[in-house]
Amino acid sequence: MMARSVLITFVGLLVLCFSETLAKAEYLKYKDPKQPLNVRIKDLLGRMTLEEKIGQMVQIERANASADVMKQYFIGSVLSGGGSAPSKQASAKDWVHMVNKIQEAALSTRLGIPMIYGIDAVHGHNNVYNATIFPHNIGLGATRDPQLLKRIGAATALEVRATGIPYAFAPCIAVCRDPRWGRCYESYGEDHTIVQAMTEIIPGLQGDVPANIRKGVPYVAGKNNVAACAKHFVGDGGTTKGINENNTVVDGHGLFSIHMPAYYNSIIKGVATVMVSYSSINGEKMHANKKLVTDFLKNTLHFKGFVISDWQGIDKITTPPHANYTYSILASVNAGVDMIMVPYNYTEFIDGLTYLVKNNAIPISRIDDAVKRILRVKFVMGLFENPLADLSLINELGKQEHRELAREAVRKSLVLLKNGKLPNQPLLPLPKKAPKILVAGTHANDLGNQCGGWTMEWQGLTGNNLTSGTTILTAIKDTVDPETEVVFHDNPNAEFLQTHQFSYAIVVVGEHPYAETNGDSLNLTIPEPGPETIKNVCGAVKCVVVVISGRPVVLQPYIDSIDAVVAAWLPGTEGKGISDVLFGDYGFTGKLSQTWFKSVDQLPMNFGDAHYDPLFPFGFGLTTQPVKA
């Protein structure tokens, strides 16, 4: 009897072990890269609870992404807001370790769905210490060089991946119709054809779409590429008076012929995600606009990636923001927003969305659509096969080849607006050999000023200790003849100028860094002491004024006193791109992608308008020939 009961126990144990092994070895189609994409999505979706689905739709700030939070709420995505880094001056290695730690928490959940980490790499990997900072988009638009944009995209992707991050919230494909807008520098120009051409940055970031892929399906080539994000859908550059996040008043023709075309190119190029704009179209908030987000973007354009909200974007559906959060969740999710950027109040969002689904205010089919799209992007990116970053790319961050590329971009972005008081007496290119020259202005020796907003911090910083790069002053000193004496004074007075004999002066002035609403300006003047420096220096010495700005600014009444004017936009870390062209190692080739107005009273004013009477028209740019050594 005893032997029999032992045998039964033994057999029972065997069966138990066998069934456990079977369960462990259960074939999970979604984990098999050989399975077709849609089979993997369907298999995984079928295994998910409502909690797990809603977790996928949530993107939280890095500071909140503890292991416990990731596991408890099945969080699908994490981001770094502007300036949100693991530590001050964090290295690529520090970033990789932080991202992997968060990822490990996501992978330890029941289904092991990897999270996707996103960051605003909008002009290079601009939140990260030591990264290459490229010119902002307005300067890149002036290059008229889509292939350059593609190379910048590829370099940026490598630097972002160097820090373990697979997703960049770029490019901004806004069409800036009014330079009073604080985000105008994030636009490639006022003309949609330029913006369309510059979407070539997308295959740079993501890789070239294979010929056989269906249009509208997201595509990311591999571990050296990142998922891109076309933003901000749609009409963000057309708001009344350029007021950020405001209302764009536009008829159907204007919407589809000016603001929408670059989205067609982006979708054809396989862009993985689209971010919704804070702004409204004819009074309707884009975050609640089902007609444009679902009916047009998803159903008409067949966009198959995911749609993401902007930072706390759904809160702003109501005035004041967050006034009726349940309504904001309902309106945005039903409009077709798939992933919600809720940096801080994620539990409130999760509870609200769960309640709305359980009470049939949001159909489960809408949740499934959102989750399918998010999973599609994760599968396409290879996140399931390679969820953790390694250290193999850390030397890509800020590497010399990327800095050379940024320097080339600076050269090509410079627009020469004036060259000499008389047509036959040009000032530029400047001679490298001169007894003594003056470099003046608030922006000549300030790396932060030349990088602008979205650099290390959300609003940018002034000064030279934000990251590594070359100021314009350093670039000039490195370029002129060793015998030439370079005198720097940020704001010289008349007495100082009389006591020196300068061969010529380079005055570098412009706007201070800003981002978004902080940059909205109704006067567009160069802040003091810029105008004073121009008046003092150009009244006493032959001068070239280099304007560092995110858009055209007021140049009247001092333009007549200036010998030469260069629009240098926001060039980034590589100041040598400016000295390369000022001294004639390369010629000026850039063309305005924004109309340069005479007075702000003319705004908005775009090429083709009946009242078009600019100081310098759209497409303007003088050229010079390189000096033969």
CATH number at residue 508: 3.40.50.1700
The reply to whether 356 and 501 lie within a common domain is no
Question: Of 516, 520, 563, 580, which residue is the catalytic one?
Answer: 516
- Report d(CA 597, CA 387) in Å as an integer: 50
Q: Annotated catalytic, 310?
A: yes
CA distances from 478 to 38, 473, 574 (A): 57, 9, 13
CB 238 within 8 A of CB 258: yes
Instruction: Check residue 478 and give left, alpha or beta (phi > 0: left; psi -120 to 50: alpha).
Output: alpha
> Residue 312's pLDDT is what?
98
The reply to whether 457 and 367 lie within a common domain is no
Would 13 be classed as within a structural domain?
no
The reply to whether 457 and 329 lie within a common domain is no
The reply to whether 341 and 256 lie within a common domain is yes
The reply to whether 347 and 295 lie within a common domain is yes
pLDDT by 10-residue block (mean), the chain, 629 residues: 53 48 73 97 98 98 98 98 95 98 98 98 98 99 99 99 98 98 98 98 98 93 98 98 98 98 98 98 98 98 98 98 98 99 98 98 98 98 98 98 99 98 94 98 98 98 96 98 98 95 98 98 97 97 98 95 98 98 98 98 98 98 93
The reply to whether 420 and 368 lie within a common domain is no
CATH number at residue 149: 3.20.20.300
Q: What is the DSSP-derived secondary structure letter of residue 587? A: -
Q: Which long-range contacts (CB under 8 A, 24 or more apart) does 474-478 make?
A: 474/445, 474/575, 475/575, 475/576, 475/577, 475/578, 475/579, 476/439, 476/506, 476/579, 476/582, 478/576, 478/579
> Residue 3's pLDDT is what?
53
Would 387 be classed as within a structural domain?
no
How would you class 224 by CB atoms within 10 Å of its CB: exposed for 0-12, middle for 13-18, buried for 19 or more? Answer: middle
Would 38 be classed as within a structural domain?
no
Structure-derived torsion over alpha carbons of residues 10, 16, 21, 24, reported in degrees to the nearest 10: -160
- Can you list the alpha helix ranges (DSSP code H) found in 506-549? 530-538
> Residue 481's pLDDT is what?
98
Chain center to CA of 67 = 28
Q: What is the DSSP-derived secondary structure letter of residue 430? A: P
The reply to whether 159 and 286 lie within a common domain is yes
> Residue 19's pLDDT is what?
47
Would 561 be classed as within a structural domain?
yes
| Angle at the Cα of 66 from the Cα atoms of 62 and 67, rounded to 5 degrees | 130
- Report d(CA 6, CA 629) in Å as an integer: 96
> Residue 1's pLDDT is what?
55
CA distances from 351 to 58, 335, 340, 360, 492 (A): 12, 19, 14, 14, 61
Q: Is the bond leading into 529 cis (omega within 30 degrees of zero)?
A: yes
> Residue 628's pLDDT is what?
84
- Report d(CA 249, CA 205) in Å as an integer: 33
Q: Annotated catalytic, 186?
A: no
The encoded tokens of residue 430 equal 């400047």
The reply to whether 348 and 204 lie within a common domain is yes
Question: Of 52, 120, 145, 310, which residue is the catalytic one?
Answer: 310
The reply to whether 251 and 179 lie within a common domain is yes
The reply to whether 359 and 444 lie within a common domain is no
- The domain total for the chain is 2
Per the structure, the complete domain to which residue 327 belongs is given by 45-381
The reply to whether 137 and 273 lie within a common domain is yes
